[in-house]
């Protein structure tokens, strides 16, 4: 059974029956980029993908176009298609935008009723405990995934589809720099200690000052993540 069959066989048919073959291939390639199976700079060889998925070149090229629109691959004449490598400026800009969204999410969630904040803080604390365990296991991939889930909890709680869309696009692009970040156990420990401070601030926020503190911690965490990324 090839990779494409394995990916789609467990998926609810009602969710994919109206999707084009190109979109299905795009989603599979996207998963490979997000997991690190395909790394920045790596060439996506059309003949190999055609063979792997047992399809014609047309849907593969459609998948490439969609990934290029998403900013995840680049197509150059006579050079083929490669997973995109972000410049330092692009990474800085993406982190700045993410910092704004995370800070806004923290501010807005702190304005919710205390029972809602408490429920979210409890979930976040559980994720922090899970990340502590993954740090000890030195499971970078699982830690990274749980780390994303932690931050997504704030964004999802907003219930704003446009913010979710923008945030998802930022995170997808920042995956292209993921192997340079959280690269050491010490980095992961520092990151998770910051997560714990955010969860605690969310639970304790009862005044405008607390509100500002939670939002500030969210933004500062993103800035420190960029600093860790820049460390040699």
Cα separation of 54 and 123, whole Å? Answer: 42
Cα separation of 19 and 112, whole Å? Answer: 38
Cα separation of 173 and 68, whole Å? Answer: 11
User: pLDDT tens digits, the chain, 232 residues: what are they?
Assistant: 333 333 444 444 444 444 688 899 999 999 888 877 888 899 999 999 999 889 999 999 999 999 999 999 999 887 789 999 999 999 999 999 999 999 999 889 988 888 999 999 999 999 999 999 999 999 988 898 899 999 999 999 999 999 999 999 999 888 888 655 566 888 899 999 999 999 998 888 776 676 778 889 999 999 998 888 877 5
Residue 201 gets the label, from left (phi > 0), alpha (psi -120 to 50) or beta, of alpha
CB 146 within 8 A of CB 130: yes
Task: Report pLDDT for 105.
Answer: 92
pTM of the model: 0.79
Instruction: Dihedral sign for Cα 72, 150, 161, 12, please.
Output: positive
Structure tokens at 116: 């809602």
* Burial class, 62, CB count within 10 angstroms (exposed 0-12 / middle 13-18 / buried 19+): middle
Residue 112 gets the label, from left (phi > 0), alpha (psi -120 to 50) or beta, of beta
Structure tokens at 21: 């073959």
Give the 3-state secondary structure of 107-175: HHHCCCCHHHHHHHHHHHHHHHHHHHHHHHHCCHHHHHHHHHHHHHHHHHHHCCHHHHHHHHHHHHHHH
> How many other CB atoms are found less than 10 A from the CB of residue 34?
18
Task: Report pLDDT for 183.
Answer: 67
Cα separation of 87 and 221, whole Å? Answer: 21
Cα separation of 199 and 215, whole Å? Answer: 11
SS3 227: helix
Cα separation of 217 and 112, whole Å? Answer: 17
Cα separation of 45 and 53, whole Å? Answer: 12
């Amino acid at each position: 059974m090839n990779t494409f069959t394995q990916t789609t066989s467990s998926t609810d048919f009602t969710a994919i029956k109206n999707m084009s073959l190109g979109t299905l291939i795009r989603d599979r390639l996207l998963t490979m980029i997000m997991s690190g199976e395909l790394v920045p700079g790596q060439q996506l060889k059309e003949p190999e993908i055609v063979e792997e998925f047992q399809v014609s070149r047309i849907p593969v090229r459609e998948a490439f176009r969609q990934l290029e629109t998403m900013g995840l691959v680049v197509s150059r004449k006579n050079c083929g298609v490669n997973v995109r490598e972000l410049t330092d400026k692009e990474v800085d800009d993406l982190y700045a935008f993410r910092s704004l969204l995370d800070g806004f999410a923290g501010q807005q969630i702190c304005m919710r009723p205390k029972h809602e904040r408490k429920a979210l803080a409890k979930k976040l604390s559980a994720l922090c405990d899970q990340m502590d365990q993954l740090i000890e296991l030195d499971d970078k991939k699982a830690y990274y995934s749980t780390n994303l889930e932690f931050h997504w909890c704030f964004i999802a709680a907003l219930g704003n589809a446009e913010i979710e869309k923008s945030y998802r696009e930022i995170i997808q692009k920042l995956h292209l720099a993921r192997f340079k970040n959280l690269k050491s156990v010490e980095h992961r420990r520092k990151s998770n200690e910051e997560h714990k401070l955010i969860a605690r601030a969310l639970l304790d926020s009862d005044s405008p000052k607390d509100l500002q503190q939670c939002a500030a911690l969210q933004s500062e965490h993103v800035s420190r993540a960029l600093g860790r990324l820049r460390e040699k």
